[in-house]
Structures are given as C-alpha cells and as structure tokens.
Amino acid sequence: MDHVSPPGRPAALRLGSVAPDFTADTTQGRVRFHDWIGDAWAILFSHPDDFTPVCTTELAEVARLAPEFARRGVKVIGLSANDVASHRAWIDDIHDIGGVPLRFPIIGDPDRTVAMLYDMLDALDPTNRDAAGVPFTVRDVFVIDPKKLIRLKLSYPASTGRHFAEILRAIDSLQLGDAHRVTTPANWQPGDEVIVHPAVADAEAAQLFPGFRTVRPYLRYTPDPRGAP
C-alpha cells in the first residue's frame, strides 16, 4: 500500500483540511482514494476488526441505508484492520445478519497504513491493542466533500456503535448550507426552520429569505429553503 503523504506522524486533520490521498486494496479492487471520490461526497468510516459484533451491525446498517446515501450523492467506503480476504469472508456474515447486500468497498488495512494516515488509532484504551501491542483502529467517520475537504469528523470508542441517522442528518445540514446561505439549529431535521447565516445582512436576507423572523439581531429564522422532505 502506498500513499502520497510521507510516513511518520500524520498532519493534523482539521475541518477544512484536504483529506489525505492514498492507494489501497479493497473488496472491490485497488483504488486511489481521490480518484474514487471523483465529484461526489464521500464517507470514510473505520472499524477495529473483522468478525466483531458492533462492527457487523454497523456495516449491515450502512448497507441498509445505501439508498439514502445515494440520494444525497454520497459514496461510502469502509476500512478495517484486516486484509481483503478476511473482509470478503466477513461480508457473508454481514449479508446474512443484515438481510441486505453490502455493495460498497471495504479497505484492507492490516498494517494500519491508512489508519495512521488519518490518525485513527486508539491511544486511550490500553486494552485495545493487537498481539504485537499496536493500537486498534477506532470507529472514526470522515465526511468529505467533492473538493476533497474534510467537512465532518467523528470518533467513537470501540464499544459504541455509531448512529448513522445522525450522520445522514449532518450531511443534510452541510449540503443545505453549501446550497443556501443558512446554518442549522440544535436538533434540526430536514424541513425544520433554519438560521440565516450571520454573514448575511438584513437587507440581503430580505431578498434571499422574504419574511424571515428575527429573534435577536444575530438569530434570524427562515423556512427550510428546500421545503418539507
């Protein structure tokens, strides 16, 4: 496996950073990550190990939600710290348990190359190590936009499965904000009111969002520009 960044300690992956590119073997062949993303949005999500209970339920859920990701123009790619042959055997279990086919690729990362590149290793839990003492990969999520920028990152401990409906909700918010000059309030769901972006002056807001309501000078609400879901 090779990647474009030099080996060693990864650069800080902040929101707005370019997602590191890499080449890796997957269950659907060898991919160059940026080429694989193309002009789409993408999710890269990692797993500590194959044939583990929480990971299996997560992959089955993402397979079930495949139409929702596709509807948003989001490509999904998984990663686990095992080789591709192990992943392919594991997929049979995932199909059987989830009852739906898994159609997205899973990266083989037995030497933790991509995990290290994305700083996915568990430095907190001393029990979360392989036989050689190498930290396991944690449950990270990176949402990457078509410009290859990291727009969202989440880290979960190995014991806690992810809430993929929340990840979809966050993607809805990001895509809405890119299309319109709005932000989303706490607990927002598609179709709820949104917040006029603070950088939009009232005069411009009146043109963009007729009838917006002001709660405070810095807090102005308007209906979801996309309407009800």
Distance, first Cα to last Cα, the chain: 42
Give the chain's largest Cα–Cα span. Answer: 63
Q: Which two tokens stand for residue 48?
A: 């500590």
Exactly one of 55, 77, 144, 167 is catalytic; name it: 55
Q: Which uninterrupted H or E stretch holds 84?
A: helix 84-98
Q: Is 65 a catalytic residue?
A: no
- In our burial notation (b when 16+ CB lie closer than 10 A, e otherwise), range 178-216 reads eebbbebeeebebeeebbbbeebeeeebeeebeebeeee
Proportion of the chain in helix, strand, coil states, percent, rounded to 5: 30, 25, 45
Number of H helices, E strands in the chain: 7, 12
Give Cβ neighbours of residue 145 (< 8 Å, ≥ 6 apart): 41, 151, 174, 178
Asked whether 112 and 134 are in contact (CB, 8 A), the reply is yes
Q: Is 160 helix (H, G, I), strand (E, B) or coil?
A: coil
The catalytic residue positions are 55
